[in-house]
A = this chain, B = another copy of it.
Amino acid sequence: MRTVVGVMGGGVASETVVEAAFELGRLIAEAGWVLLNGGRDAGVMRASAAGAHAAGGLVVGVLPDDDTHRASPDIDIAIQTGMGDARNVINVLSSKVVCVLPGGAGTLSEVALALKSGRPVVTLGFPLGDAFAKYYASGRLVDATAPADAVAAVQRFLTEDRS
């Protein structure tokens, strides 16, 4: 079974965030992991898929829609759910580790759902503050400031959870 790493973040994203998402996608593909995201042709989803593809990686997009009209062209496998935000649950359950870039309430829901289900979370340029203090303290939620640091944190979680 392939190792799947999730990348979540806003459908609207600044240029800095888009660049970080692309680079993170590239590094995930280079590590040999499958990249999973929310599949849409926007923001962090589009950029991370493009980055993974630039490095020859495989990309799974879990869409809120029941078709592929809004899917990024860099999605290899489109999981069409027709379930709206309930697909956020699938995003995080299907990821061994969830990486999170800046986003709004949808992204925060994915952080919370991941932690609820025991999936470790690595934020990239998106420190979450007091509401998540308990999870920072547990070590299952960590902040990174550069894509390479985020990937190193993912690697540590994968090693820990396997042993």
| A residues apposed to B, CB below 8 Å | 1-2, 4, 34, 60, 62, 66, 68, 71, 73, 75-86, 88-90, 93-94, 104-106, 108-109, 111-113, 115-117, 128-132, 134-135
Contacts and interface: CB of A to CB of B under 8 A. Distances in A.
Nearest to A61: B1
A85 B113 contact: yes
18 contacts: A1-B73, A1-B75, A2-B77, A79-B79, A82-B84, A82-B90, A82-B117, A83-B83, A85-B89, A85-B116, A86-B86, A86-B89, A86-B90, A90-B90, A106-B116, A108-B108, A129-B130, A130-B130
Nearest to A93: B80
B94 A105 contact: no
A80 B85 contact: no
A9 to B, nearest CB: 14
